[in-house]
Structure 1
Amino acid sequence: MPTAEPPKPVAPPPQESASYGSITSPRSRKQLGLFFAGASFFLLSTVITRRSLVRRYKEITPKFYQPNTRPNTSFNAGLEAFEALNLATVNVCSIAMMAGGGMLWAFDISSMDDMRRKIRGGLGIDGSGRSEKDAEEEMEEWLATVLARKEEKERRRKEGVEEKRTNERGAPR
């Protein structure tokens, strides 16, 4: 009868570059690409927002020979709200893009394979000799014990309610 060998740990795939420390390495430049794209997008959105605010300010200031008791009444609330929403969305998206790129660089993630390896390594799936199927079975066992405890608590609670509805001799009240 053949004996089964224990599973061997899976080695991580070869990396793109051996020099991780250098910020000018190809891997680091690839990781920082999203950060710099977000920073450029943020700069562009800041310029657009500034231009919009200056334009709005120029619209509300009175002209030279215009009396200051009569303000400019050309105001479309719906259009102004729509423009404000668009500017806020562009600003938030650019900051999120910049933050995401910075986090990917900080955690040394440059591809989806890197992200999968880091997440699975944190869960103990890769590198520890366990396969995904073993991890799923362990999760199912844990979930089954949690659900069994919950059912036991509900059963005890129902029995306690039924006991309270009877008197000391066991007769219903």
Structure 2
Amino acid sequence: SEPTTMSPPPQESASYGSAITSPRSRKQLGLFFAGASFFLLSTVITRRSLARRYKAITPKFYQPNTRPNTTFNAGLEAFEALNLATVNVCSLAMMVAGGTLWAFDISSTDDMRRKVRGGLGIDGSGRSEKDAEEEMEEWLATVLARKEEKERRKKESVEEK
């Protein structure tokens, strides 16, 4: 296992303006702005689709309103609705993910790994990664032992009946 190169921790900045315009912050905000522009584009596409649908169902000037326009393909309508909903949700999720990554000051997977491990107490609390893995193995062994004991009791109770 080769040691991985980790990006340097974020530098604390004295002024708020320089922190927003730093290259690291601009990189983090890139995903947010890409999601925001994608969301704007998907909103425009959805509005155009709804306007086209509304225009198609309104009766023409000399057409009686008792005979609605019923020429539509339900499968195609459902497919288009599903596509529009998917695009809207994906663009919103992209925007939220970018904003969250910026808010938590994460710009790479190494940053994410360092923050998660720090939150779990693996890096900074004096425990090594090996100790944490051993503790997880012990916990898993106790859980599996309890499960086996329950299965054994259940099997014994079924055999008694």
TM-score, with length taken from structure 2: 0.80
Pairwise CA distance, 1:24: 1.7
Contact conserved, 2:118 with 2:124, CA < 8 A, in 1?
yes
**5+ residue gaps, structure 2:** none
Once residues 116 and 79 of structure 2 are traced to their aligned partners in structure 1, the CA distance between those partners, rounded to angstroms, is: 40
Pairwise CA distance, 1:25: 1.6
Over 3 Å counting, the alpha-carbon distance change for 1:57 and 1:10 in structure 2 is: closer
Cα offsets for 1:51-99 (capped at 9, x unmatched): 0011111111111111222211211111111110010000000110011
**Considering only aligned residues, what root-mean-square deviation do their CA atoms show, in Å?**
3.7
Once residues 156 and 63 of structure 2 are traced to their aligned partners in structure 1, the CA distance between those partners, rounded to angstroms, is: 84
Pairwise CA distance, 1:126: 1.5
Pairwise CA distance, 1:131: 2.8
Once residues 44 and 6 of structure 2 are traced to their aligned partners in structure 1, the CA distance between those partners, rounded to angstroms, is: 50
Over 3 Å counting, the alpha-carbon distance change for 1:157 and 1:61 in structure 2 is: closer
Contact conserved, 1:31 with 1:104, CA < 8 A, in 2?
yes
Between 66-75 and 125-134, report the one with greater CA deviation: 125-134
In the alignment of these two chains, the number of paired residues is 158
Cα offsets for 1:5-54 (capped at 9, x unmatched): xx999996575989787422211111111111111001000000000011
Identify the structure with the greater helix proportion: 2
Once residues 9 and 93 of structure 1 are traced to their aligned partners in structure 2, the CA distance between those partners, rounded to angstroms, is: 32
Over 3 Å counting, the alpha-carbon distance change for 1:20 and 1:68 in structure 2 is: same
Cα offsets for 1:126-153 (capped at 9, x unmatched): 2333332221111111222333344455
Once residues 140 and 119 of structure 2 are traced to their aligned partners in structure 1, the CA distance between those partners, rounded to angstroms, is: 20
**5+ residue gaps, structure 1:** 1-6, 165-173
Identity among equivalent positions (%) equals: 91
Contact conserved, 2:38 with 2:91, CA < 8 A, in 1?
yes
Contact conserved, 1:8 with 1:129, CA < 8 A, in 2?
no
